[in-house]
Amino acid sequence: MSANADRPPVIAPGYTPATVTDKISAVVLNKTPRWWYVGFAISFLAAQLLFITIAKLLVLTVGIWGINIPVAWGIDIVNFVWWIGIGHAGTLISAILLLLRQTWRTSINRFAEAMTLFAVAAAAQFVLFHTGRQWLAVYWLFPYPNTMGVWPQFRSPLMWDVFAVSTYATISALFWFVGLIPDLATLRDRSKHWFGKITYGMLAMGWRGSARHWHNYETASLLLAGLATPLVVSVHTVVSFDFAVGIIPGWHATIFPPYFVAGAIYSGFAMVMTLAIPLRKVFGLEDFITMRHLQNMAKIMLATGLIVAYGYGIELFMAWYSGNTFEQYMIHNRILGPYGWIWLLLLLCNVLTPQFLWLKKVRNSVLGLFFISIIVNIGMWLERFVIIVTSLHRDFLPSSWGMYTPTRWDWSFFVGTLGLFFSLMFLFIRFLPVISIFEMRGITTGHDFEEQAGEVKP
Amino acid sequence: MSVLSRLFARHVKPEFGKPGPRQEGGDLPPHLYGVIAEFGKPETLVHAVHATRKEGYQVIEAYTPYPIEELHDAIGHGPSRVPLLVLIGGIVGGLFGFFLQYWTSVVAYPLNVGGRPYNSWVSFIPITFECTILFAGIAAVLGMLVLNGLPMPYHPVFSVPRFQLASRDRYFLLILARDPRFRAGDTFRFMETLGASLVSDVED
């Protein structure tokens, strides 16, 4: 264990179940800090942009966007894939790291899960409204017995996507809520105000923390984690099928599923980092979200960043190795075509920048990690732009080539979903515990208990 | 015994229902639910649970601020039934997902695309998988809630003022009045010998 000795701890020393409980629940139960109002107001204002754009979109439909033929999927789908990708870290942290018994996940899983939910909510705006005629999309997307006797085409990856994303949203929401139940009971017991007592009490549903409760609870959590693990891998795999099953050069590639999943985890951890660094600062939670967490996330970002870089390399190699004219032209156009500068920027953001994470000095610098995480977020957005727009705008027939420029309504929709995401995030950090309290209690005493139990037992 | 009653029979036993036989005492509350003891350390609680069971008490329950595996072993509640429910949910979901696609694509709305088979089961795999996970996950959550008897807005232990510390750093042991071994005064005195910091009656 000497290798672990010089690592920063998962939780600062000296905490007990009582102090952990008081410190985390104080974030929720204390008076609202002033910066919260400012932050929420800005986010909520940006969210209004979403509602305005949607209103305009419902009247004039997708013609207000820059999409055309051949580029029928513009940054609406770029944004969808970007948001869904971000939504992967939450379930990864809470499910896969739970199965791997990584105790450091405890203090970041709660808000990473919340981030997942809100990212999926933002992504859902795009799938819902890019259909153009949303009132018809109900029978395009969902199998329900309608008067026309028409059913969806289940052989289409787009249908798989509907099921994958809605299952993911449902399971993530359940996982998140189940994780909250014991903490809601804690807030019910700590809350001084009658409104808080009643609200948290209703949400806690009468949780008492009995041995039977905990046993069923732990079993259900473990099973949910086991179910969510293949699910989280399947979601971005299915999203990549949206492209890979098509025959467009630049889409039709077998590397897509693993490459998309790695990219999703990459961007998800980048977003967790972007949110965690200011969060631990403003709430003074540095004792719980320690440098150990930031370093571990940085390492995961580095690993997945390398997989993504390998994916870029394989795309280049396969285009050459396939001997296919169209594939080769696609790469040529990707690097030297009119959108070539975006590809270059993508390499800078996604391949070059994470290499700094090899340095321990960078992994120890909060500010450095914050900047790298933001650059990776931008890079992952650019990656989806390169895949979607650059592949579409010049395919087989030069006579049907075209260009794509997003309009202001494209951008307002995107900024609007950012507003929605951050509004929900602000509401979450104000009204619910950002760190799993009961799991932190276990961490403060867990090892202690095992050592002493042997002596006490008769 | 039907499958359902086998599934849900045991959860009703320890915590719910009317108080059982008890001896009349001097200033005992009229409706006694049980006697609860408060402990400051999880080790003392586990020790107390062992002692209580050794004494012959069966209908007992312990409350802790976080899950403690040793406590579950000590109190002897037996394995959880959540996994069985999840298995059933998964099987039902998988069958539902596949046959939804089979029925719509083969029976209700067959589309002949260049003579390709209607039952193209390979392309039905992703949705079958997603439905399996969805149903199993919902079964896990609802199963956990039902087996725990939640939602239950009121429970007698909530009337114990210090019980709100069960969600902070205190550990509680409850012997229910329904326990056949329960004798109002004796049980109270017995619990005082367990090293508890506080013992009190729980009114129904």
Convert the pLDDT of each residue in A42-55 to its tens digit: 999 999 999 999 99
- Rounded mean pLDDT, A376-392: 94
Task: Judge contact between A281 and A429, C-beta under 8 A.
Answer: no
Q: How many beta-carbon contacts under 8 Å exist across A and B?
A: 212
Tell which residue, A307, A278, A319, has the closest CA to residue A36.
A278
Q: What pLDDT digit, counting tens, does each position of A398-407 carry?
A: 999 999 999 9
Q: What is the mean pLDDT of residues B118-129?
A: 94
* Residue B65 belongs to some domain of the structure: yes
Q: What single string gives the DSSP state of each residue in A360-402?
A: HHHHT-HHHHHHHHHHHHHHHHHHHHIIIIIHHHS-S-GGG--
8 Å CB contact of B100 and A170? no
In angstroms, the CA B162 to CA B175 distance is 17
Boundaries of domain holding B123: 82-147
Query: Does residue B138 register a pLDDT over 70?
Result: yes
Residue B29: per-residue pLDDT? 57
pLDDT of residue A455 exceeding 70, the answer is: no
Q: Which residues of A touch B67 (CB under 8 A)?
A: 214-215, 217-218, 438, 442
Give yes or no for B138 touching A (CB within 8 A): yes
Average pLDDT (A282-294) is 87
Closest A-chain CA to B155: A206
Minimal CA separation from B195 to chain A, in Å: 12
Exposed (0-12), middle (13-18) or buried (19+): which is B3, by Cβ within 10 Å? exposed
Verify whether the Cβ–Cβ distance A210 to B61 is below 8 Å.
yes
Residue A249 sits at φ, ψ, to 5 deg, of -60, 135
Interface probe, candidates A172, A223, A234, A440, chain B, greatest B C-beta count within 10 A: A223
Tokens of A425: 């995030």
Contacts 24+ apart (CB under 8 A), A97-100: A98/A221, A98/A222, A98/A225, A99/A222, A99/A225, A99/A226, A99/A229
What is the reported pLDDT for A446? 55
Set of chain B residues whose Cβ sits within 8 Å of the Cβ of A150? 109
* Residue A95 pLDDT: 84
Q: Where are the domains of chain A?
A: 17-456
- Among A89-103, A113-127, A233-247, A299-313, the range scoring the smallest mean pLDDT is A89-103
Q: Which chain B residues are closer than 8 Å to A21 by Cβ? A: 65, 167-169
Q: Is A364 exposed, middle or buried (0-12, 13-18, 19+ CB in 10 A)?
A: middle
Does residue B18 belong to the interface with chain A, where contact is any CB pair within 8 Å?
no
The DSSP element (H or E) to which B200 belongs, if any, is: strand B198-203
Tens of pLDDT along A133-181? 888 888 888 898 889 888 999 999 999 999 999 999 999 999 999 999 9
Mean pLDDT of chain B: 82
Confidence of residue B16 (pLDDT cuts 50, 70, 90): very low
To the nearest whole Å, the CA of B201 is away from the closest chain A CA by: 17
**pLDDT for B102 beyond 90:** yes
Question: And the tokens for B178?
Answer: 């329904």
Whether residue B107 sits in one domain with residue B43:
no
From B141, which residue of chain A is nearest by alpha-carbon distance? Answer: A220
Q: B17 pLDDT band (50/70/90 cuts)?
A: very low
The answer to whether the beta carbons of residues A91 and A228 sit under 8 Å apart is yes
Please check whether residues B39 and B137 belong to one and the same domain.
no
Strand order in the sheet with B32-39: B60-63, B171-176, B32-39, B198-203
Residues of chain B in contact with residue A174, where contact means CB-CB under 8 angstroms, are: 137-138, 140-141
Q: What is the ipTM of this complex?
A: 0.89
Q: What are phi and psi of B39, to 5 degrees?
A: -125, 155
pLDDT at B14 > cutoff 70: no
The predicted pLDDT at position B157 comes to 86
Helix (H), strand (E) at residue A452: helix A437-456
Identify the residue with better confidence: B20 or A243.
A243
Give the CA count within 13 Å in the CB-facing half-sphere of A227: 32
Q: How far apart are CA A211 and CA B172, in angstroms?
A: 10
Amino acid letter at B158?
A: F
Residue in A189, A205, A442 closest to B150 by CB: A205
Q: Is residue B25 part of a domain?
A: no
Q: Is A4 exposed, middle or buried (0-12, 13-18, 19+ CB in 10 A)?
A: exposed
A182 and B167 within 8 Å at the Cβ level: the answer is yes
Among B124, B147, B170, the domain-final residue is B147
B41-57 mean pLDDT: 87
What residues in B contact A451, CB-CB < 8 Å?
none
Q: Are residues B163 and B127 in the same domain?
A: no
Among candidate residues A312, A301, A173, A155, the one with its CA nearest the CA of residue A241: A155
Quick one: residue B66, left, alpha or beta (phi over 0 = left, psi -120 to 50 = alpha)?
A: beta
Q: In a mutagenesis test of the B interface, which of A19, A154, A160, A202 is the best target, namely the one with the most B β-carbons within 10 Å?
A: A154
Residues B133 and B95 occupy one common structural domain? yes
- Cβ(A414)–Cβ(A66) under 8 Å? no
Residues of B with CB below 8 A from A175's CB? 137
Here the CATH number for the domain that contains residue B163 is: 3.30.70
Q: How far is A186 from chain B (nearest CA, A)?
A: 5
Residue of A98 and B126 predicted with greater confidence: B126
**What average pLDDT does the segment A246-257 reach?**
91
The arithmetic mean of pLDDT across residues A169-194, rounded, is: 90
B88 near A CB under 8 A: no
- Domain count along chain B: 2
- φ, ψ of residue B175 in degrees (nearest 5): -105, 120
Fold of the domain built from segment(s) A17-456: Formate dehydrogenase/DMSO reductase fold (1.20.1630)
Query: Do the chains contact at B130 and A164, CB–CB below 8 Å?
Result: yes
Of A151, A211, A234, the CB nearest to B77: A211
- Report d(CA A252, CA A327) in Å as an integer: 9
Look up the pTM and report it. 0.89
Tell which of A144, A212, A456 to mutate to test the B interface (max B CBs under 10 Å). Answer: A212
Q: Is residue B197 part of a domain?
A: yes
Alpha-carbon distance of B81 to B89, in angstroms, equals: 13
Closest CA to B11 of B93, B85, B90: B85
B143: nearest CA in chain A? A220
Contact list, A201 vs chain B (CB under 8 Å): 153
Task: Specify the higher pLDDT residue, B155 or B134.
Answer: B134
Chain A residues with CB-CB distance to B108 below 8 A = 149, 151
* Contacts B173 to A, Cβ<8 Å: none
User: Quick one: B43 and B131 in the same domain?
Assistant: no
Interface probe, candidates A158, A163, A199, chain B, greatest B C-beta count within 10 A: A163
Q: Is the pLDDT of residue A284 over 70?
A: yes
- Tell me the chain A residues in contact with residue B166 when contact means C-beta distances shorter than 8 Å: 189, 208-209
Is B64 near chain A, with CB under 8 Å? yes
Nearest C-alpha neighbor of A387 from the set A154, A85, A117 = A85
pLDDT of residue A6: 62
- Tell me the per-residue pLDDT of A238-248, one tens digit each, with 9 for 90 and over: 999 999 999 99
Residue B17 lies in a domain: no
> How high is the mean pLDDT of chain A?
89
- Amino acid occupying residue A190: R
Compute the nearest-CA separation of B71 from chain A (Å): 7
**B47 and A458 in contact by Cβ < 8 A?**
yes
Which of B121, B147, B173 is at the close of a domain? B147
Compute the nearest-CA separation of A348 from chain B (Å).
Answer: 35
In a domain, B23, yes or no: no
Give the dihedral sign, CA A112/A115/A121/A126. negative
CA distance A8 to A11: 8
Tokens of B82: 């959540």
3-state secondary structure of B172: strand
A182–B68 C-beta distance less than 8 A: no
Residue from the list A178, A182, A201 with its beta carbon closest to the beta carbon of B141: A178
pLDDT at B32: 81
B133 vs A: CB within 8 A: yes
**Beta pairing partners, B35:** B175, B201
End-to-end alpha carbon distance in chain A: 31
Q: How does residue A410 score in pLDDT terms, banded at 50, 70 and 90?
A: very high
Of A322, A315, A299, A380, the residue nearest A347 (C-alpha)? A380
> Is the Cβ pair B108, A149 closer than 8 Å?
yes
| One domain for residues B73 and B160 | yes
Q: How far is A216 from chain B (nearest CA, A)?
A: 6
Which pLDDT value is given to residue A368?
93
